[in-house]
Amino acid sequence: MKKNLFEMGADFRDEWSSDNKNKPSKKISTELKTPEKHQLHFAKEKRRGKVVTIVKPFCLDKTTLQALLKTLKKKLGTGGTIKEDSLEFQGDIPELLRKHLEVLEYRFKN
């Protein structure tokens, strides 16, 4: 059998991968902080015509963050989710959210 004269590309047996698929990983802080040491800030985004209020960055373990989300959703009467180190809530509610987080002794950037 003849060997292919036009060998192009990489040898797939050597764990080849394309360069544009590898995204640089973000530096993730694994340090857990108490509520008094947090420096949170708000962001707003529009998704499908609706406003989403985002609070970040939280330096808490996953179970504590889930418990915090659950209590805030009950107090605010709105839906929400966890995305990486941030909490996202449905609606434009930064004032109410700030008030409830300050009661729980979380701090904000000025």
Q: What is the 3-state secondary structure (H, E, C) of the chain?
A: CCCCCCCCCCCHHHCCCCHHHCCCCCCCCCCCCCHHHCCEEEEEEEECCEEEEEEECCCCCHHHHHHHHHHHHHHHCCCEEEECCEEEEECCCHHHHHHHHHHCCCCECC
Band of the pLDDT at 37, cuts 50, 70, 90?
confident
Q: Identity (one letter) of the amino acid at 99?
A: K
pLDDT in tens, 71-83: 999 999 999 999 9
pTM: 0.69
The lowest-confidence range among 4-8, 35-39, 50-54, 91-95 is 4-8
pLDDT of 10 above 70: no
Give the start-to-end residue ranges of the domains of the chain. 50-110
Running DSSP on this structure, what letter comes out for residue 89?
E
Architecture, CATH, for domain 50-110: 2-Layer Sandwich (3.30)
